[in-house]
Amino acid sequence: MEEQLLSEKDTSEETLFSDYPEIVTVKEISEMLGLHRNKVYELIKEGVIPKIPYCRHIKVAKISVIKFILQSAQ
């Protein structure tokens, strides 16, 4: 039973936001989380969601957004 729950969790994490690329923008994170862009920038600035510096843009690994959601749900 426990193994089944673990495999379901792995599958759901893999399919969560499958329409988004592996590296997402602030705009995409805003859509994913249903938050205003300013709040997303605040979360990134505070280090709650780790960023990937990319020229003058901010990018984030999609897995970081998923981890943020899972931690927030606990």
- Number of neighbours of residue 28 by Cβ within 10 angstroms: 19
Whether pTM exceeds 0.75:
yes
- All structural domains of the chain with their residue ranges: 20-73
- 24 touches 60 (CB < 8 A): yes
CATH dotted code for 20-73 = 1.10.10
Query: Taking residues 20-46, what's their average pLDDT?
Result: 97
Quick one: pLDDT band at residue 62, thresholds 50, 70, 90? very high
